[in-house]
Structure 1
Amino acid sequence: MSQFNNQRTDNLKIFTLNFSDINGRLDPLYYYSVNNLEIVNKTIYPIKKLCQVIDMQRGRFGHRPRNEPKLYGGEYPFIQTGDIVRASQSNGKITYSQTLNELGLKTSRLFDKPVVVITIAANIGDTAILDYPACFPDSLIGMTPKNNELTLQYINLYFKFIKSYLEDLAPQSAQKNINYQQLSPVPIVVPPLEIQDKAVELYEKALHESQQQQQQAQALLASIDTYLLTELGITLPEQDNSLEKRMFRVSFQQITGERFDAPIQMSQFSLHSTKYPMKRLTQSFIFNPKTIIDTKICSFIPMEKISDESGSITSVAETIEPSTSLGYTQFQDNDLLWARITPCMQNGKSAVATGLINGVGLGSTEYLIFRALHENNIHYLHAILRLCYLRRSAMLYFGGATGHQRVSPIFFKRMKIPLPPIQKQNEIAEHIQAIRTQAKQLQTQAEQLLANAKAHIEQMILGQ
């Protein structure tokens, strides 16, 4: 024992526990979480187990197969896990896309009074208030207060503070899940009702203000396409999907060496500008250029390091040794990385690489690389290739298996783009970057609003 005590140990991972506190589960992670749940350990208010103050009823849907058509299409809303996750993230009303009929109701359970619904499978600990009669499956549990000690709104809010704790309750398996027995002893702080109401009011106000700023940020980002098209004098062609337009002739010369797909030949994709000359993309930008990397280390940019929202690389700090890492896509500073695979392409995963370690990098084989020629602005090209209209049109050039479809290089090799003078390219690129910077500031402020509110609410629950 003395030898053990003399060894260097991590005091944060070693703790004592009363035998009487072990409730049928010898799981260090579970008890570590309980001991370190600060909102419980430091509060001045009473602490109860969920089972003492909350009635819990698991949803039900016993029929197999679950997708039997004869059970659906009635008047009873049928809530799914995804519906709760979305409502939890927005703190909004639970929406649904499925309904049960009388036959489906017989295999399920109707919750006809307001309940807090919590997810217990795959997604753990997301909650939302269900305020209309509905059914849901056994991957969800409905919770209501047993007495007037707790409000539904406070219960819903409280679970936002212990979500990571609940995730630790789930056994490590292919799909995480928890059950009623694991939820029952979960501790809940029971402050006075006036404190509960103030905490809920504070959170809802902060969330409303945060959502407004997020909406402003999204509106700014959505305005980029309109700005770019207007500056370049581009009017997008209207899509005519009439039967007459879907029957057409194409000369053999037009399809020689190209694709034989009818949708591609019918496509009216065009970025024709009334202000500037049209040039083939490959005349002004190198498509998939060769990059020589002769350094010992360089940046590694996997797909997840590119933000589809901001169109930027989130970090260039991860490194890789090129000599032992064959097969990756190579690029250098000021190259444009454009994801060609679904769904990354549709989501807009693309970014200009800057600040790479030793000026070079390796990344996913699913990147297409573009490099500016003749003093053109690569950020200008990035703005064009992020156009929603262009990305929708690129889907016509998908090839490969379903779920792993990739845009064909033909799409870019035949593409023509407006090419204004470099001064105008710079002006457009700088204006778009200013819009993105403003949107990012709004998003940061929105996140900070919620963080400040949560910190304040935590102090209220602690009684400080």
Structure 2
Amino acid sequence: MNKIPKGWEVKKLGEICEITMGQSPKGENVFENSQSLNGLEFHQGKICFTDKFISKSKFITSDIRKIAEVGSILLCVRAPVGVINLTERKIAIGRGLCALKANNQNNNFLYYYLLGLKQYFESKATGSTFSAITLNIVKNCEIPLPPLSEQKAIVDKLDDSFAKIENAITNLINAKENLKLYKQSVLKSAFNGDLLPNTSPTHWEVKKLGEICEINPKTEILLLNESDEVSFIPMASVEAETNIFTESKSKFSKVKKGYTKFRDNDILFAKITPCMENGKICIVNNLKFGIGFGSTEFHVIRPNKNTLSKYIYYFVSQISFRQMAQIYMTGAVGQRRVPSKILENFEIPLPPLSEQNLIVAEIDRRFAIVDKTLNLIDKNIQNAKNLKQSILKKAFSGELRSEI
């Protein structure tokens, strides 16, 4: 703010905006069904607003206290602090949000400026239970303001630049999805027996998974001291659909009871929703003492000596396998799990061990190429997002003047 272009001025948001802090409705006035109430639209249990940049939601309510008008800027004042969005319709807002609307200024200029302030608002947040910012912090936030004609020109330039960047990001995301579909097609070919030209499924056997693997086997624990550090793998440390996990260390005394036990080369298969559907599956290796402990929401799959762990891992990683397992989940909503019997009775095509090695090697080879491309796409997506921030910085320091 110390160096602003000639002809610009610095104002506080409270000086140029109407600011409305949200207020949550009473619990007895919250509904679940889509409805229209006093001109306000609601849908599927959420206050209706576009989720272009924000997915925060509140209530369907008849107890409307605070309203954001069409074209208002919504700012999250409670975690996730600093996320913003433009409203496309009149809505009610809960206390996790505030609505801003510029007076006698270009509202979209203000919107773009706030897009670049997430880290600023995060730095101002306080609270032990959840982070939040106050109305005063919002009011006292400063903004550099050019004349209205220049605000419009800057907004037009940002609209054009951001549309191109969003289009590029969309194309990159679509490319990622296509590569993921390709990986699934590779797995389908592998277990149909047509991935390799020199292999034929005519002599393969069909086995139940429980015939060639132990499901949730007993794991012998070596003589360990209570103070020994052992490998521990919580559900959160297993990535979805990557066979990547991050182990932590825990005292044997803390995990010896009440946790799932496993050993090197075992497969951990998440049994609870939504982790199972998301593909939280991995082969564990290089465990301390060769054993590990983890979430009770894992099934442990231990292949016999004639079956490769990687072959089984790839089989249970198929979306088709997980979709079938999902059908047989049991339990209450939000706590549904795949019973171990489903895994035990699931049929799998099984070639000889030598062919399993060839199939796994070919899957590994193809996946390595795909994963390298996926990593490159992720970097490009991040670069595109960084470019947005760079353009915003230029816009509000006056550097876009020469391009307008």
Where on the TM-score scale, by shorter chain, does this alignment land: which range? Answer: 0.7 to 0.9
SS class of match (1:114): coil
- Number of residue pairs the alignment of both structures matches: 374
Structure 1 pair 42–308 and aligned structure 2 pair: CA distance change class (3 A): farther
Deviations for 1:161-207, whole angstroms, at most 9, x for unmatched residues? Answer: 32243245444154555453442112334465345554554444333
Residue 134 of structure 1 pairs with residue 96 of structure 2: no
Change (3 A) 1:321 1:107: closer
Taking a change above 3 Å as real, the CA distance of residues 83 and 432 of structure 1, as seen in their structure-2 partners, is farther
SS at match of 1:125: coil
Matched, 1:326 2:282: no
Q: Check 1:97–1:319 CA distance in 2 against 1; reply closer, same or farther (3 A cut).
A: closer
Per the normalisation by structure 2, the TM-score is 0.76
Counterpart pick for 1:306 among 206, 227, 238? 238
Cα deviation for residue 333 of structure 1 reads: 3.8
The percent of aligned pairs where both chains have the same amino acid is: 21
What corresponds to 1:118 in structure 2? Answer: 75
Deviation per CA, 1:116-138: give whole Å up to 9, x if none.
2223345433211223x322234
**CA 1:190–1:326 in 2, change beyond 3 Å: closer, same or farther?**
farther
Q: Which stretches in structure 2 are left out of the alignment for 5+ residues? A: 194-200, 400-404
Matched, 1:56 2:16: no
What secondary structure, in the 3-state scheme, does the structure 2 residue paired with 1:65 have?
Answer: helix
1:143 to 83, 93, 100: 100
Inter-CA distance 85–287: structure 2 relative to 1 (3 Å threshold): farther
Deviations 1:89-142 (A, max 9, x none): 59xxx9x99989xxx5x94677564222223345433211223x3222343333
For residue 77 of structure 2, give the secondary structure of its aligned residue in structure 1: strand
**Which secondary structure state, in structure 2, belongs to the residue aligned with residue 210 of structure 1?**
helix
Provide the rounded CA distance (Å) in 2 between the counterparts of 1:68 and 1:446: 38
Name the counterpart of 2:198: none
Shift, 1:278, TM fit: 0.9
Q: Structure 1 residues 230, 331: CA separation in 2 closer, same or farther (over 3 Å shift)?
A: same
**2:92 corresponds to which letter in structure 1?**
F
SS of 1:448 mapped into structure 2 = helix
State yes or no: 1:232 paired with 2:229: no
Question: Does 1:65 find its partner at 2:28?
Answer: yes
Deviations 1:367-406 (A, max 9, x none): 2222333353323322221223322332344345553333
Distance in 2 between the 1:337 and 1:63 partners? 44
**C-alpha contact 1:397 1:407 (8 A) present in aligned 2:** yes
Aligned partner of 1:414 in structure 2 is 345
**Pair 462,380 (structure 1): closer, same or farther in 2 beyond 3 Å:** farther
Residue identity in the other structure for 2:76: T
Matches within 5 A, 1:38-437: 46-58=9-21, 65-68=28-31, 72-73=35-36, 76-78=40-42, 86-88=51-53, 107=64, 113-131=70-88, 133-139=89-95, 140-148=97-105, 150-152=106-108, 154-172=109-127, 174-190=129-145, 193=151, 194-195=153-154, 197-199=156-158, 201-233=160-192, 276-289=204-217, 290=219, 292=221, 296-313=228-245, 315-316=246-247, 318-327=248-257, 328-356=259-287, 360-400=291-331, 402-420=333-351, 421-422=355-356, 423-437=358-372
Distance across 1 between alignment mates of 2:290 and 2:32:
58
Query: CA offsets per residue over residues 316-369 of structure 1, 9 Å max, x none?
Result: 4x3223355323333344332111122211222112224545654332222222
Residue 280 (structure 1) shift: 1.9
The answer on whether the counterparts of 2:264 and 2:290 sit within 8 Å (CA) in structure 1 is yes
8 Å contact from structure 2 (residues 68, 93) kept in 1: no
CA RMSD in angstroms, aligned pairs only: 3.9
Tell me which moved more, 297-306 or 337-346: 297-306
Provide the C-alpha distance between the structure 2 equivalents of 1:127 and 1:348, rounded to a whole number of angstroms: 31
Give 1:450 deviation, angstroms.
Answer: 1.4
Give 1:217 deviation, angstroms. 0.9
Alpha-carbon distance in structure 2 between the residues aligned to 1:430 and 1:50: 56
Report what 2:402 is aligned to.
none
Do the aligned residues in 1 keep the contact of 2:267 with 2:309 (CA within 8 Å)?
yes
Residue identity in the other structure for 2:376: Q
Deviating more after overlay: 177-186 vs 214-223 = 177-186
Equivalent position amino acid for 1:288 in 2: N
Decide whether aligned partners of structure 1 residues 448 and 352 sit closer, same or farther in structure 2, where only a CA change above 3 A counts: farther
Instruction: Return the letter of the residue paired with 2:329.
Output: F
Deviation at 1:274, TM superposition (A): 7.8
**Contact between 1:48 and 1:187, CA under 8 Å: does it hold in 2?**
yes
8 Å contact kept, 2:20–2:66: no
Residues 158, 306 of structure 1: alpha-carbon distance in 2 compared, 3 angstrom cutoff = farther
The whole-number CA distance in structure 2 between the counterparts of 1:65 and 1:345 is 35
